């Protein structure tokens, strides 16, 4: 598809997705003058700094800098790429994207997915009708009532009942002229020697939806004595159990408001919590969280509390799932439920307050793992104590905060039943060996890869790196404010390597576009990834038109990279000094580096006489 046609499609999708209406589905907006304001969904804040302009069809947060059009917003909030976002917004307003965008194979897959969604939606309506409108469903309704589930909650989660007949759903599908082969692909029916029959019979039905509310599969609980007790849909092109979180569609807003998610194990755990006002709860459809589920969760929150029953929480598979969350940068805590209780039974017996209290009292991942490790070792014996301490050392080495680590050391020593002094002695030996191995690796990197930019960037502390990224962003924004700024900024940025690959790519495309008279360039000339950043910068200029301090940003960036180069050379000189004496080549290299180092120090003093050592 040519660029002009593609841009026309993008504009049509944007025009039909009014930005205030779309963002209102995610953020509670209040009208203020000609704009709408609310709490930013992309960072924690108590005072609204998130602004949406209906007139300009743009959003901008004055707190974190996020901004752009409706496409940018959905890409950020749903963690989707550009094509996925375009498709989602197009489907939202019933715009059919041109089929020529898809190959015949992809088009066939898309049509198959749409057919499965349609069949699942029909089956959901069928099961709901049986539950709420027939005599057959009274047994299932009585079961829900006994479990404390209200009709309102059952309707919110679209619960239903599959009758104890072999072909009731098959008959409905036949009457509507729908393919039973397709229904088999959806996991609704099975084919046998005597024809098709219903997969789910005499079961309370729990429809499983994706984050957009489309039904992708089902879980069914038997009401009779048959086995298995729970039966799930088979894997299909739209349903993979390891990728799903039950209740996510209903919990999205609750998670955003609470800024955390509570993960439970079962369907009724979720429904019971929601009907009692705890709406940030989802179920993992099993105790072992998968990497796909972790990625999905991270789209909505950076804090997760696990609230499994005691037996499930202690399983090794659960521990692996918690590690996946931790490795993904999600803060993990574990609510310690009483023995024999799950969230459903706990809320019914002792109320929401008790459940929320346990959630508030949840322990961090280290404390939970410590309890898990100590529970598996015999602490009444010296060997058991020593083995437990060795296992805990591996956990401690991953704790970077020294204050937290010291607290954990005291906690572990007390739990194991040894003196803090003995624990510290063993820990220092373990830490010394770790540090020694790391130093060896650092020296090798320093001496063998002296021109390695990756290593140079590792010298940058996180706060400084953030400042550099902000400086680069401000300069790129300045480029778009005035064409006259571009020459000076280009000269500054061309002499250094941008900290962000995305910023470097945008700069390169601006340089290539510089031959044209139009400025700033149209968004359509950029690739989807770069376009997102570009629209963000344009939006910031629209919503916050104060001119960028180009001269000041250029000086601070120049100053920063000069000091980084000095630090890099200092490390190289230190590494070269350790070479054996008498090595003529190494000594010559050392003298050259010292001369260059002196020259850079002189340049730093001349250009920045009042430099204090930080940005």
pLDDT of 540-566, one tens digit each?
Answer: 888 776 787 877 777 777 777 777 777
Q: Mean of the per-residue pLDDT values for the chain?
A: 83
- Identify the CATH class of 244-370: alpha beta
SS3 letters for 359-412?
A: HHCCEEHHHHHHHHHHHHCCCCCHHHHHHHHHHHHHHHCCCCCHHHHHHHHHHH
| pLDDT at position 247 | 96
| Yes or no: domain 3-100 corresponds to CATH 3.40.1000.10 | no
Q: Are the C-beta atoms of residues 361 and 335 closer than 8 Å to each other?
A: yes
- pLDDT at residue 246 is higher than 80: yes
Residue 329: count other Cβ atoms within 10 Å of its Cβ.
9
Beta strands in 4-119 (DSSP E): 30-32, 35-38, 50-53, 58-61, 67-68
Through-space distance between the first and last CA atoms of the chain, rounded to whole angstroms: 47
- pLDDT at residue 330 is higher than 50: yes
Please give the DSSP secondary-structure letter assigned to residue 145: H
Give the angle 23-38-259 at the CA atoms, nearest 5°: 85
Token digits for 468? 């550099």
Q: What Å distances lie between residue 569 and 82, 280, 432, 450, CA to CA?
A: 42, 51, 27, 9
| pLDDT at position 205 | 98
Beta strands in 143-200 (DSSP E): 160-162, 189-192, 195-198
Winning range, highest mean pLDDT, from 93-107, 477-491, 582-596:
477-491
Which element (helix H / strand E) includes 208?
strand 203-209
| Yes or no: domain 106-239 corresponds to CATH 3.90.980.10 | yes
Share of the chain above pLDDT 70, in %: 84
Q: Tell me which residue of 554, 433, 429 sits closest to 491, measured CA to CA.
A: 554
User: pLDDT of 413-429, one tens digit each?
Assistant: 999 999 999 998 888 88
| pLDDT at position 138 | 95
- pLDDT at residue 372 is higher than 90: no
Q: Are the C-beta atoms of residues 233 and 239 closer than 8 Å to each other?
A: yes
Q: Tell me which residue of 8, 103, 13, 81 sits closest to 111, measured CA to CA.
A: 103
| pLDDT at position 231 | 94
User: pLDDT of 180-215, one tens digit each?
Assistant: 999 999 999 998 777 999 999 999 999 999 988 899
CA 85 to chain centre: 16
| pLDDT at position 451 | 40
Does the pTM of the predicted model rise above 0.95?
A: no
Q: Stretch 294-302: mean pLDDT, rounded?
A: 84
Confidence of residue 574 (pLDDT cuts 50, 70, 90): low
- pLDDT at residue 453 is higher than 60: no
The partner residues of 232 in beta bridges, in order of sequence, read 219
CA 564 to chain centre: 32
Q: Tell me which residue of 187, 123, 191, 197 sits closest to 161, measured CA to CA.
A: 123
Give the DSSP letter string of 287-329: SS--HHHHHHHHTT-SEEEE---HHHHTSHHHHHHHHHHHHTT
Winning range, highest mean pLDDT, from 270-274, 283-287, 545-549, 587-591:
270-274
CATH of domain 377-447: 1.20.50
Residue length of the chain: 615
Q: Where are the domains of the chain?
A: 3-100, 106-239, 244-370, 377-447, 449-615
CA dist 567 and 559 (Å) reads 13
């Amino acid at each position: 598809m040519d660029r002009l046609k593609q841009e026309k499609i993008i504009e049509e999708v944007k025009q039909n997705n009014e930005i205030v209406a779309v963002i209102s589905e995610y953020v509670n907006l209040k009208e203020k003058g000609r704009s709408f304001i609310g709490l930013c969904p992309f960072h924690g804040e108590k005072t609204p700094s998130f602004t949406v302009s209906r007139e300009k069809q743009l959003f901008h947060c004055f707190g974190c800098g996020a901004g752009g059009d409706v496409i940018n917003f959905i890409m950020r909030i749903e963690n989707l790429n550009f094509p996925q976002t375009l498709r989602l917004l197009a489907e939202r307003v019933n715009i059919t994207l041109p089929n020529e965008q898809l190959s015949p194979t992809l088009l066939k897959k898309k049509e198959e997915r749409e057919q499965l969604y349609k069949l699942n939606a029909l089956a959901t309506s069928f099961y709901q009708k049986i539950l709420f409108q027939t005599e057959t469903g009274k047994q299932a309704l009585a079961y829900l009532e006994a479990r404390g589930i209200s009709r309102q909650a059952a309707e919110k989660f679209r619960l239903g009942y599959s009758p104890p007949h072999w072909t009731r759903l098959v008959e409905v599908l036949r009457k509507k002229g729908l393919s039973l082969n397709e229904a088999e692909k959806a996991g609704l029916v099975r084919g046998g020697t005597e024809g098709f029959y219903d997969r789910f019979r005499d079961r309370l039905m729990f429809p499983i939806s994706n984050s957009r509310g489309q039904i992708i599969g089902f879980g069914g609980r038997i009401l009779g004595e048959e086995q298995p007790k729970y039966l799930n849909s088979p894997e299909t092109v739209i349903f993979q159990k390891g990728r799903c979180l039950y209740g996510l569609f209903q919990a999205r807003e609750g998670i955003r408001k609470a800024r955390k998610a509570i993960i439970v194990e079962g369907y009724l755990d979720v429904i019971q919590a929601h009907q009692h006002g705890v709406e940030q709860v989802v179920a993992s459809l099993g105790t072992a969280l998968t990497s796909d589920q972790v990625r999905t969760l991270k789209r909505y929150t950076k804090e997760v509390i696990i609230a499994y029953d005691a037996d499930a929480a202690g399983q090794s598979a659960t521990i692996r799932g918690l590690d996946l969350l931790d490795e993904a940068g999600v803060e993990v805590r574990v609510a310690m439920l009483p023995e024999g209780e799950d969230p459903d039974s706990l809320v019914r017996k002792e109320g929401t307050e008790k459940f929320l209290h346990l959630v508030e009292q949840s322990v961090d991942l280290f404390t939970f793992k410590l309890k898990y490790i100590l529970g598996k070792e015999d602490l009444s014996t010296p060997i058991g104590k020593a083995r437990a301490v060795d296992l805990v050392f591996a956990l401690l080495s991953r704790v970077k905060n020294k204050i937290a680590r010291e607290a954990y050391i005291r906690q572990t020593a007390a739990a194991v039943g040894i003196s803090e002094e003995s624990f510290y002695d063993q820990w220092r030996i373990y830490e010394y060996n770790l540090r020694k191995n790391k130093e060896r690796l650092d020296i090798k990197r320093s001496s063998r890869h002296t021109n390695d930019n990756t290593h140079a960037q590792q010298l940058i502390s996180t706060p400084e790196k953030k400042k550099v990224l902000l400086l680069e962003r401000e300069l790129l924004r300045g480029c778009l404010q005035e064409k006259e700024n571009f020459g000076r900024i280009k000269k500054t940025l061309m002499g250094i390597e941008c900290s962000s690959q995305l910023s470097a790519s945008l700069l390169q495309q601006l340089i290539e576009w510089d031959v044209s008279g139009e400025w700033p360039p149209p968004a359509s000339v950029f690739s989807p990834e770069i376009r997102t950043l570009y629209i963000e910068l344009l939006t910031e200029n629209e919503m916050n038109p104060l001119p960028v301090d180009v001269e000041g940003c250029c000086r601070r960036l120049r100053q920063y990279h000069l000091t980084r180069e000095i630090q890099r050379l200092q490390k190289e000189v230190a590494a070269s000094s350790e070479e054996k004496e008498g090595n003529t080549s190494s000594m010559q290299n050392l003298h050259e580096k010292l001369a260059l180092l002196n020259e850079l120090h002189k340049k730093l003093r001349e250009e920045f006489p009042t430099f204090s050592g930080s940005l």
